[in-house]
Every structure is written in C-alpha cells, then in structure tokens.
Amino acid sequence: MNPRPISRRRALVLGGAGVAALAAGAAGWISTAGSPAAGTTLDAGATREPLAPPAELTARDGRLQVELVAATGVRLAGRDTRALGFNGTSPGPTLRLRPGDELAVRLTNHLDQPTNLHTHGLRVSPQGNSDNPFLRIDPGASFDYRIPVPPDHPPGTHWYHPHYHGTVADQLFGGLAGALLVDGGPPLPVDDDRVLLITDTTLNADGTVPVASPAERMQGREGQLVLLNGQHQPVVSAAPGHAQRWRLINGCISRVLAVRLEGHTLQQIAQDSTFLPAPTPHRQLVLAPGNRADVVVQPDRAGRFTLLTDPYDRGTAMSGMGGTPPAATGSTTLATLAVDGPAATAPALPTTLPAEPPPAAATATRSTAFQMGMGGMRGGTGNTTTDALPMSFTIDGRSFDPNRDDQIVTAGTVEEWTVTNTGPLAHPFHLHVWPFTVVAASDGRPTTGVPQDVVLVPATGWVRLRIPFTSHTGRSVYHCHILDHEDAGMMATIVVR
Ligand code: C2O
Ligand code: CU
Ligand code: CU
C-alpha cells in the first residue's frame, strides 16, 4: 500500500576529516586527461547485483532536517571511483516528506568549484534560502536551506540536483542527484514502492570522469554507462501477483529515455509530480531529461524480463563538425526484472486517480525560443566550460545573464506560452516552481492534460503550454534541460510579482 512503512536507513554521512582527505586526495574534481581514447575507459565492475535502494530519510513531526555533503569519491557501477556523490553515495539519499512539512538541508560543498541545490518539481518559493537557483555555495562553505512545502502540495516524485550555472552538467554527470518524494495520494495495490533514478556517466580507467569535448557539449553528453540507482543493470526481484510502483526519474543530462519492459505493459499513474486521471498503459514511455513517470508493474508469471531504453533520435547539433554520433544503435539494458513463484494475477488498479483539474483559461500569451547559432558565446562568463564552444546556445537570442529580467509575469495570472525551437536538436523545456499543462505540440503527440515541468520541444517545432502563476511569487529560471546547453547559456530568468 502507499505509503507503506519503509525501513529507515541511516544516511552515510562522512565525517569532516574523511571528506577533507578525499577532497585533498583529488588533483581536481574532474580529470584533466581529456576525453577518453578507446581502451582507456572503465567498464562496470559489477552487473546484475540486486537493486539497492538509496538510503531514505523521512520527515518526522513536520520536518526533515538533513545534511548533504557534496564530494568526490563514490562507488558507482560496482567500482570505487572519483565520481561525485552526496554523503558518499550516488544517488544521494532519497528525501521523503509530506505536504506541509519543512525541508531543512545543510548543504556542504567539498567540491573544488561552486555548487547549490535545486528541488526539481517542488512547488515552493524560489526566493531567499528556499529553491533559489541564483545562490552560490563556494568550495568549503555550507549553506542552510529552509524549504517549506505548502500544505496543499500534490504528492509525487521529484528530485534534487545542483544548479550553479556553468557547472550543472558536470556535477550531475559526475553523480550528484537524488530523489525527493512527497507522500500521499490514494492507496494503491502495490507491495513495493521503488525509486529508479536513472543517470549516465563515463569513467576513465583511473575512475575519474572525463572532461567533455566541445562537440560533446554541443550535442549534449550521453555517458557510456547508463546506471540505475548508481548500479549497472541491477536485478529487481518480484513475485507473480504482487505489483510494484516504480518511480522512474530521468537524471541523465542529455539522454532521452524510451523505456520498455519486456513482456509487460507499464501502467503509468503519474507524470512528473502529479497523478494522471487514470492508469494509462504504455509499451514504451519517453522521458526527456528531468522528466519522471510513476508506473505500476504487475508481474503475473515467473521469468526474466529486461527493462531497457530504446534509441531516441534527438537530432544532431552539427553534421560535419564532430557532432557526437549516437553512441549505441541498439537498446540499452537498464535492469532485469526477475519474477519467481507460481503464476498469479496482480490486483486491479483503481480506475480513476486524483488528477488536478485543468488550469483556468489563459489571459495572456507569451512566446520564447530556443536558438542555436554560429559564433559561440557573446560576452563570455569566464567559465572555460562554456566559453570554448564554437556555437551559441541562447533563449530569444540572449545568453543567460542572472542579473537581467527576461520575463516579467503578473502574479495570479494564467498564461499561454508558445515555446519554439529553431534548431536541428530537440530541447527539453523546463520551468522551475510553476508547472504547466501542455496544450499542443507541433509533432501532434498526445498530451496528458495534467501539469508537468519538462517537455521536449521538437527540432524546428514548438509546444504550447498553459501556465498558472498562482502559487508563488519570486524570481527563478527556465532553461533547456540538456544541461550542457543550460551551462552554455540556454537559460533565462523569470520574475513573478
Ligand atoms: Cu532539473 Cu533547472 O533543473
Ligand atoms: Cu528544475
Ligand atoms: Cu538544448
């Protein structure tokens, strides 16, 4: 049932001395060896181990107080690596709250570059020490976040990751991500409630994460290892007749997942943070970077079934300029579902779910455009990651400037936005704090009718969104969730007042 009691695990919190030793032992948080040549990368050290959930930290008495230490040195894909984690693990601990709780995070930065924290999907204030993407936490510093979750916040699957502009892609590709769940919602006939946080990365032979080339950053990096909860192709066990809720989170910085489970239908119950009106069967579920889908899997017979992601064509940044060719032509295995026991039918799902009613009609319209152009960045940020690109990544022709107000919106209104994409690559549009309902898309794909916070804008296409700016006021951002593009400038500010 949901929520079911879940055994609490203690977070592994490295002592200060341990963290310092780890940090000092690294020449840099990321290898300076450049992109891996063939034969110099690390394969998974362990495959097909039982799925291990991230540690779980649950709010008590209306509050979840946690310390997150971002540092180098985690076990990833069955290897001891120089990749990044929170509290020594990648993913970091799963944070579990209820509507009305306060999330209090002390974030300590043991990286050698600035960082901060974003609670992706939460409808919370973007101001002050709440979900504020403009904060900068320097190496060695700590910061205390206080994020009150409103009492009417919808239950659902969210996640957290760093958001300091210019370093977001490297830090997430390095391993810094975790799940953030808001409990509640109808009872579901499931025996397990699992986080399946999917990330990808590449490891050099020495366990460091390679520096991305300009071509990789333009295309958006796709790692050689696709990981589930930091594991390589783990085994999820199940019994016939016992359903499981899987909270799929696409934490990859660029890769679009097209998820499929052999021999099964995925019954989707929620998209991003909120419930669908009814369970919806899918053979394959497409998740852009940042998207989530809650699905129920109902095994009814014994067997071994592969959970995989099919190739997805998101376009090519530049033909002839070293745009990364798709790494794999076939499907990639994410996990194996191992079902043991006598055949039995899982209980039926509810026929309706508590979807939010659609937003009121829009009273204002607005357009914004993702653009890629020749010539690189105008007015560099001083960040070598972004300044070296021979192409510009902009919104409405402008590169991100945290001090410029790009969109000014009147609080309390509902707006209809048309987001266009002038280029040859699909870009996932993401708006912080104010989820939107997709009204239509140029490729004619079906829309869910419920709020979401990431939507893929097709190459040379558009999406039309309805956005209620009725919850919080404040200043935040919207951007491409191919995080290499975001770091290259494809981000803009929005002020709701
Ligand atoms: Cu998941 Cu602004 O990001
Ligand atoms: Cu976000
Ligand atoms: Cu993009």
CB 285 within 8 A of CB 307: no
In this predicted structure, the answer to whether residue 42 has a pLDDT above a threshold of 60 is yes
Reported as a pLDDT band with limits 50, 70 and 90, residue 376 is low
The amino acid sitting at 464 is: R
Mean pLDDT over residues 414-443, rounded? 97
Confidence of residue 329 (pLDDT cuts 50, 70, 90): low
Per the CB < 8 A criterion, the answer to whether 478 and 370 are in contact is: no
The whole-number average pLDDT for the span 57-82 is 97
**pLDDT tens figures, 125-169:** 999 999 999 999 999 999 999 999 999 999 999 999 999 999 999
Overall average pLDDT of the 83-105 stretch = 98
Sheet with 414-421: list strands edge to edge: 391-395, 364-374, 414-421, 462-468, 437-441
430: Cβ below 6 Å to ligand 1? Answer: yes
Nearest atom, ligand 1, residue 478 CA: 2
Whether residue 238 contacts residue 244, with contact meaning beta carbons closer than 8 Å, is answered with: yes
Whether 8 shows a pLDDT value over 70: the answer reads no
Q: Whose CA is nearest to atom 1 of ligand 1?
A: 120
Global model pTM greater than 0.75: yes
Distances in whole angstroms, Cα of residue 320 to Cα of each of 161, 316, 325, 353, 383: 34, 10, 11, 49, 26
Least distant ligand from the CA of 371 = 3
pLDDT single digits (tens) 263-322: 999 999 999 999 999 999 999 999 999 999 999 999 999 999 999 999 999 998 865 454
Proximal ligand: closest to the CA of 122: 2
Kindly give the number of the ligand 1 atom that is closest to the alpha carbon of 133.
2
Q: Does ligand 1 have an atom closer than 6 angstroms to the CB of 479? A: yes
Q: What mean pLDDT value characterizes the chain? A: 89
**How many CB atoms within 10 Å of residue 137?**
20
Q: How far is the CA of 120 from the centre of ligand 1 (A)?
A: 6
Six-digit token pair at 41?
């990368």
Average pLDDT over residues 335-346: 97
Helix or strand or coil: residue 474? strand
Report the pLDDT value the prediction gives residue 415, as an integer from 0 to 100: 98
Percent of the chain with pLDDT over 90: 84
Provide CB contacts within 8 A for 124, sequence distance 6+: 130, 131, 147, 148, 149, 150, 153, 433, 472
Measured in Å, residue 118 CA sits from the centre of ligand 2 at: 6
Measure the CA–CA gap between 232 and 114, rounded to whole angstroms. Answer: 29
Ligand 1 pocket residue status of 255, Cβ below 6 Å: no
Closest ligand to residue 292's CA? 1
Average pLDDT value for residue range 449-463: 97
Q: How far is the CA of 421 from the centre of ligand 2 (A)?
A: 20
Give the pLDDT score at 36.
Answer: 46
Q: Which ligand is nearest to the CA of 435?
A: 2
Decide: 251 in ligand 1 pocket, CB within 6 A. no
Output the CA 394–ligand 2 centroid distance in Å.
18
Judged against a pLDDT cut of 90, whether residue 32 lies above it is answered with no
Q: 325: pLDDT confidence band, cut at 50, 70 and 90?
A: low
For residues 103 and 55, give the distance between their C-alpha atoms in angstroms, rounded to a whole number.
17
What is the whole-number distance in angstroms between the Cα of residue 38 and the centre of ligand 1?
32
pLDDT of res. 67: 98
- Ligand 1 nearest atom to the CA of residue 479, by list position: 2
Confidence of residue 39 (pLDDT cuts 50, 70, 90): low
**Predicted pLDDT of residue 351:** 97
Q: Which atom of ligand 1 is nearest to the CA of 121?
A: 1
Atom of ligand 1 at shortest distance to CA of 290? 1
**Pocket of ligand 1 contains residue 118 by CB under 6 Å:** yes
Assess whether pLDDT exceeds 90 at residue 29.
Answer: no
